[in-house]
Structure formats: C-alpha cells, structure tokens
C-alpha cells in the first residue's frame, strides 16, 4: 500500500473520532500584511495537538489487524504521549509512555489522566529509543514511535487532506504551507497529501534555532544532527535529527526550511512586533500573480472534552472571504 493510500485509509479511521480543525483567517491582519494568512489551529485537536491524528489512526489500524496483543508503549516529550494514551483508553488498550523527567507537568498529568503508566528518563543522558525498544521486548508491547512509523505519518497526513479541501473552497490556488517540525511526521504526512492533490502548494518546515536539523538537512541533502543540549521554549519539537522515514519524503517535497530564534518566538507572541516581522518575510512565491480566493465530529465518551456552558449567541453575518492579496500562506 502506497503512502497516499495509507493516508486515505487513515482518513476513514479518523472520521467521527478526530476533529476536522478549521482553517481560520483575519481580514484585518491580512490587510496589514498584504498577504492572505490562514491558520489551521491543531491546538484545538483532541489532547491539544495534531499528534492525536497519528496515534488514533495507527492504533485503529493495528487493532483491526490484531497486531496489538498486550498493550502499547511509546516515547514522547508530551504530545505523542497524550495522543497515544487517549487513543489507547478509547480502544481499551493498556499503554505505557516513556517521558523525559523535565516534560511539562500539564502533559504528564494529562497522560496519567488517560490511565497510562509513565516511566521517566533523562533526555540529556539517556536514549529514549533504546528504553522504548527494551520495554517493548521485555513486556511484549507494541511500540508506536512518534514519527518513524508509516501509520503515524499517514495519520498526520489527514491534516494535509483537510488543508487542501478547506483552502480550495476559499479559492487558494498556490500557497506556502508552513509546518512546525521536529522529527518530521506531520510535515512529511502533509507534504504527501500536497504532492498528490495540490502540487502548487509548497511545504516549508519551521524549527527553533539550535534544533534546525531539518532545515540544515534539506540544504545539505543528508540528515544532519543537532549537537546541543540547549533547552528551548519549543519543547515539543526538539529532536536530534530528521527521521529516517520522514527525511526522504521532505527532501523530495519540501522547500527551504525556516528557523526562528528563542527571542523571535517570544516577541512574535505579541503584537505588533510579530506582525512587522512577518510583513518583512520574503517568500519564493512573492512575484507570483495574486490568487482568488469542518466540522467537529462526535468522539467516543472516553476522550470527548467537557461541553462548554451554553451562552446566548447573536446572529452574525457570514464573515467575508479574504481579499485576493499577493500571496497565500497557511500555517499549522
């Protein structure tokens, strides 16, 4: 089965269980920037990140194939951990997660809330891959890696299918698709969908400085290694090197990688400094002609978030479509 076939199959597993997150825009911001900026907020996904997509689809597939016998083990700094834990709980499968001892407390707490067992390790002196592999052998558990898995990449690729469907409804014909990148599971999965169904969309990876292994690898043509133990505010995407499975896909499909500093990350979380920086950014499609122009499905009770208290809602007019500006940018 080809990669794109796996993504399409994953989309079927995702239906009714994985959120189809919206593609948002703000006309005023777009007017200020002179670009159409669209945001796909995967922070609204179940467990708070895109990782639930891959975890749910991989576990659904493996369970259907009877390839999970005693439970699941995974290693993660937090987001893959929560995704695997939530998917396992919904499928009534035991899970064990290997997490760094300095992982965010909230992510640790959330993972425990999904009934997972946690084993902690030191990310600076121990190798999580070895720990996970040894546990899988000793306890006869199924190891689900965060990005070095075809099924995980396919599950993340469902995000790409949504981007294509949603952006084309808005009339987007060409776009830069900016994707945060650690090991490359999300960016590789999205790029496969774009390669098949939206060849005029160009994916570009986004990484924090000192952990820009993918950007450097795309430039050199081979997998580069981060030789640093520097902490970073971008704790969820700190990986030593691009994945063996993900890098060949990105090498074929991705444009030049983007890298931001810690200072830029902190500054750009505020206005107007962030706006000014984006406004100055140059993109390869800058000279191209202007372009013309979801639903939340039901979840199993085990992972469904609490319903918000209903509030009176005023009827509002349908928001206007974004004006045809110089370039379309989609951020995930």
Q: How confident is the model at residue 123 (pLDDT cuts 50, 70, 90)?
A: confident
Mean pLDDT of 180-185: 96
Out of 3.90.740.10, 3.30.420.270, 3.40.50.1100, 3.20.20.105, the CATH code matching 3-49+150-280 is 3.40.50.1100
pLDDT exceeds 70 at position 250: yes
- According to DSSP, the residues that pair with 143 across neighbouring strands are 73
Q: Is the pLDDT of residue 292 over 60?
A: no
Kindly state the average pLDDT of the residues 22-38: 92
Residue 312 reports pLDDT greater than 70: no
The C-alpha atoms of residue 12 and residue 158 are separated, in whole angstroms, by: 9
The backbone region for 143, taken as left when phi is positive above 0, alpha when psi lies in -120 to 50, beta otherwise, is beta
CATH topology of domain 51-143: Rossmann fold (3.40.50)
Per-residue pLDDT at 114 exceeds 90: yes
Average predicted confidence (pLDDT) for the chain = 86
Enumerate the CATH 3.40.50.1100 domain ranges in the chain, comma separated. Answer: 3-49+150-280, 51-143
Give the torsion sign (CA, 150, 205, 201, 251).
Answer: negative
DSSP 235-287: GGG--SS--TTHHHHHHHHB---EEE-HHHHHHTTSTTHHHHHHHH---TTTT
**What gap in Å lies between CA 51 and CA 313, rounded to an integer?**
32
- Give the mean model confidence (pLDDT) for residues 251-266: 92
Mean pLDDT (whole number) for 97-107: 94
Nearest to 162 by CA among 58, 8, 305: 8
pLDDT computed for residue 209 by the predictor: 92
């Amino acid at each position: 089965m080809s990669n794109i076939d796996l993504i399409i199959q994953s989309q079927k597993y995702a239906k009714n269980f994985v959120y189809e997150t919206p593609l948002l825009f703000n006309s005023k911001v777009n007017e200020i920037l002179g670009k159409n900026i669209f945001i796909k907020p995967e922070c609204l996904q179940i467990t708070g990140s895109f990782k639930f997509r891959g975890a749910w689809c991989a576990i659904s597939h493996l369970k259907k194939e009877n390839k999970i016998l005693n439970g699941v083990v995974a290693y993660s700094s937090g987001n893959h951990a929560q995704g695997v834990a939530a998917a396992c709980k919904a499928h009534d499968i035991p899970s064990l997660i290997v997490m760094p001892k300095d992982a965010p407390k909230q992510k640790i707490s959330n993972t425990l809330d999904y009934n997972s067992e946690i084993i902690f390790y030191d990310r600076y002196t121990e190798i999580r891959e070895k720990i996970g592999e040894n546990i899988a052998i000793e306890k006869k558990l199924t190891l689900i890696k965060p990005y070095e898995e075809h099924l995980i990449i396919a599950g993340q690729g469902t995000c790409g299918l949504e981007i294509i469907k949603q952006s084309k409804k808005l009339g987007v014909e060409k776009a830069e698709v900016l994707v945060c990148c650690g090991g490359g599971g999300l960016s590789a999965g999205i790029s496969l969908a774009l390669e098949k169904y939206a060849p005029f969309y160009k994916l570009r990876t986004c990484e924090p400085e000192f952990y820009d292994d993918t950007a450097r690898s795309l430039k050199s043509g081979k997998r580069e290694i981060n030789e640093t133990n520097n902490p970073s505010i971008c704790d969820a995407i700190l990986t030593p090197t691009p994945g063996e499975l993900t890098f060949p896909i990105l090498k074929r499909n991705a444009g030049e990688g983007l890298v931001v500093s810690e200072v830029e990350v902190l500054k750009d979380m505020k206005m107007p400094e962030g706006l000014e920086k984006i406004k100055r950014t140059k993109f390869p499609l800058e000279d191209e002609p202007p372009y013309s122009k979801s639903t939340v499905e039901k979840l199993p009770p085990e992972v469904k978030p609490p319903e918000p208290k209903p509030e009176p809602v005023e009827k509002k007019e349908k928001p206007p479509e974004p004006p045809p500006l110089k370039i379309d940018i989609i951020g995930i």
